[in-house]
Amino acid sequence: MRILLDECVDHRLRNHLTGHECQGARYAGFSGLENDDLLNAAEAAKFDVLLTVDRGFEYQQNVAGRQIAILILSGRSIRREDLLLLVPNVLVALQSIQPGQVVRLGPSS
């Protein structure tokens, strides 16, 4: 699965998402793009999932009918150490996430 890490996600998290192709938004050439523009660029580049820590993303964007899924990490903070605790749940969610779906993962997920 091709995963795009939003700019606000520590790019080193990609090293822990084994079995998936991950790129940071900056590396993919999407620096500065937000919300709808970012989703459009990610879809055009054939990413399957946008991984973000933007807790309001699902309320700012309608992703129904999109070819990309959104995975929102709601850890204690956006620090890499806190996000790493969610990686096992992320790997499980990636097995069943569908285009146009928004999945929120937190410490108790």
Any alpha helices (H) in the chain, and if so which ranges? 35-44, 57-60, 80-84, 87-94
CA distance 21 to 34: 21
Q: What is the mean pLDDT of the chain?
A: 92
Res 44: pLDDT: 97
Using the predicted structure, report yes or no on whether residue 108 has a pLDDT greater than 80: no
Q: What are the sequence ranges of the domains in the chain?
A: 2-105
Helix (H, G, I), strand (E, B) or coil at 16: helix
15-65 per-position pLDDT tens digit: 999 999 999 999 999 999 988 899 999 999 999 999 999 988 777 777 888
Residue type for position 77? S
* 49 beta partners: 3, 69
33's CB contacts (< 8 A; 6+ apart) are 25, 41
Res 60: pLDDT: 79
Confidence of residue 82 (pLDDT cuts 50, 70, 90): very high
